[in-house]
Structure 1
Amino acid sequence: MRGQVQDKFSEFYEQWVNQHEVNLKELLSVPRDPSSSSNEQLHRALVSKVVIHYKQYYTVKWASAKDDVLGFFSPTWFSSLENAYHWITGWKPSMLFRLITSLRQTRVPGANLVDMTEEQLEKIQELLIQIRIEEDRVDREMERQQVSIADKPMVDLSRLATQVNNGEVVGELDKYVDVTLSSLLAGLENVMKMADCVRLMALKGVLEVLNPLQSVDFLAAIAMLQIQLRVVGKRRDHAKMMTLNQKD
């Protein structure tokens, strides 16, 4: 059952995606002459606008997670396909580096990532190593949170839960439940924020290596991938729902 927090965030996310599509159109339509200083200023301004848009998403996400962090581990605003490719409530940071490799290999005309210098490639490789280390750290923390379900407080809670009298809880069980679950949820919220910080670190790191026009092409590729994955995922979910309704 969806709660108020999920409904509110789902509404925000739809609006966020709509703006994401507007940003994509702007990224794809920029003048491409890198030698023009006015063009470079335009590229920098658009990259900044897109980055601010991403940061807005995480600002709202973190504020909402304070009231319902579990909603972000089983989100209703993503399609099933999007959820299948997510890593701890969002896209996996190292995906950005695979995307760079793919863009360079496709050699699409106008895609300036084809022309990355050796120095840029070396910096990207160094950043990838750093991001993978951070991903591993988040994975270990997530594993620690998952196994903590068997820690002593939860075992004690399980024992206390058997102490009922005529269907009513005995003693301070309700208060103990709240304290124990609050600790677990705080741990999950921390892991989610850790993962989001690595996502932002990867995005910021890549953009610092690329020049303004390369950054425009890179952000456009990310947006296209995210939007198309959502379109295909929602289409599949809708088709599945229609099939189930027909069977009923």
Structure 2
Amino acid sequence: MDFHRFYETWYEQLHHQIRHLTKAPRPPTTDDHHQQLTQHVNKVMFHFSEFYRVKSLAANQDVLSIFSARWCTTLERSLHWIAGWRPTTAFHLIYTESSILFESRIVDILHGLRTGDLGDLSPAQFTRVSELQCETVQQENAITDQLSEWQQDEAIELVSGTCGDLDKKIERLTKIVEKADELRLRTLKAVVELLTPQQAAEFLIAAAQLHFGIHKWGLNHDRERSQK
């Protein structure tokens, strides 16, 4: 199975898992509810881990096809950072969801009622989110610099008319993509680990809905373009 076909199956399974996660009791009021919610979160996280495991295998076979990402829409590809989503997007999503939920429940919060959702992040959680964001920005920049250096080296060779070892060039590019994917998955895991099961579920649902929404918008855009 090529990565395109794998992605289609994986994407449908993600829809299925998010539906189950959405139906899980929130907030968990019993030990069974808490365990059920944790299990659903773990299943979604394993699903993402499996995606990057297979993507790594595909990149080692044909990294250029991973960059072209023909399984994505034109809109999705325009938003890509090194063949995928930008890791710091996770933190923007947390801040956005937290602000929306905080504002919608501000009366309860002012009365001292804890909601337990993303609008009820503790000071320690906010501190850790900020720290992770700074660390991730630094790592993003380092990987971006590596890709820029790779592109610059290729441009110099094109201008000078020289041609180095193609296999080594491809291997170098593959390692850059793998580093980017490792950062994506590492960031996702770090965010989920600092959240409660309820907050983690809300974060994963919001992230998936953003993914689904952009994909659907992109499909409509590509369809309209093809009809012109």
TM-score (norm 1): 0.82
Question: Aligned-pair distance for 1:111?
Answer: 8.2
Query: Which ranges in structure 1 are unaligned for 5 or more consecutive residues?
Result: 1-6, 160-176, 244-248
| Superposed structure 1 runs of 4+ greater than 6 Å apart | none
Question: Aligned-pair distance for 1:150?
Answer: 4.5
- The structure 2 residue matched to 1:201, chosen from 167, 186, 193, is 186
Q: Which amino acid in the other structure matches residue 231 of structure 1?
A: K
Question: Aligned-pair distance for 1:155?
Answer: 7.2
Tell me: CA distance 1:119–1:111, structure 2 relative to 1, closer, same or farther (3 Å).
Answer: closer
The superposition leaves residues 53-105 of structure 1 with CA deviations (integer Å, 9 ceiling, x where unpaired) of 00111111111111210011111110001111110000000000000111011
What residue number does 1:48 align with?
42
Asked if structure 2 preserves the Cα contact closer than 8 Å seen for 1:103 and 1:111, the reply is no
- The structure 1 residue matched to 2:168, chosen from 160, 183, 190, is 183
Superposition CA RMSD, Å: 1.9
Asked if structure 1 preserves the Cα contact closer than 8 Å seen for 2:80 and 2:86, the reply is yes
What residue number does 1:223 align with?
208
Paired residues for 1:106-145 under 5 Å = 106-107=100-101, 112-145=117-150
TM-score (norm 2): 0.89
- The structure 1 residue matched to 2:84, chosen from 90, 94, 103, is 90
What residue number does 2:26 align with?
32
Matches of 1:99 and 1:12, distance apart in 2: 27
Asked if structure 2 preserves the Cα contact closer than 8 Å seen for 1:69 and 1:188, the reply is yes
Asked if structure 1 preserves the Cα contact closer than 8 Å seen for 2:58 and 2:66, the reply is no
Q: Which amino acid in the other structure matches residue 219 of structure 1?
A: L
Tell me: CA distance 1:13–1:43, structure 2 relative to 1, closer, same or farther (3 Å).
Answer: same
What residue number does 1:242 align with?
227
The superposition leaves residues 125-152 of structure 1 with CA deviations (integer Å, 9 ceiling, x where unpaired) of 1111111111011011111111111466
- DSSP-derived class of the 1:93 partner: coil
Matches of 1:43 and 1:83, distance apart in 2: 33
Query: Which ranges in structure 2 are unaligned for 5 or more consecutive residues?
Result: 106-114
The superposition leaves residues 27-69 of structure 1 with CA deviations (integer Å, 9 ceiling, x where unpaired) of 2111113341111111111111001100111111111111210
Flag the structure with more relative contact order, 1 or 2, with Cα contacts below 8 A and sequence separation at least 6: 1
- The structure 2 residue matched to 1:99, chosen from 52, 69, 93, is 93
Tell me: CA distance 1:85–1:155, structure 2 relative to 1, closer, same or farther (3 Å).
Answer: closer
Tell me: CA distance 1:36–1:195, structure 2 relative to 1, closer, same or farther (3 Å).
Answer: same
Matches of 2:95 and 2:154, distance apart in 1: 40
Query: What is the identity percentage for the equivalent residue pairs of Structure 1 and Structure 2?
Result: 30
Tell me: CA distance 1:186–1:137, structure 2 relative to 1, closer, same or farther (3 Å).
Answer: same
Tell me: CA distance 1:34–1:41, structure 2 relative to 1, closer, same or farther (3 Å).
Answer: same
What residue number does 2:15 align with?
21
What residue number does 1:170 align with?
none
Aligned length: 217
Matches of 1:151 and 1:47, distance apart in 2: 47
Matches of 2:13 and 2:116, distance apart in 1: 23
Asked if structure 2 preserves the Cα contact closer than 8 Å seen for 1:47 and 1:216, the reply is yes
Structure of greater Rg: 1
Tell me: CA distance 1:27–1:182, structure 2 relative to 1, closer, same or farther (3 Å).
Answer: same
Tell me: CA distance 1:54–1:118, structure 2 relative to 1, closer, same or farther (3 Å).
Answer: same
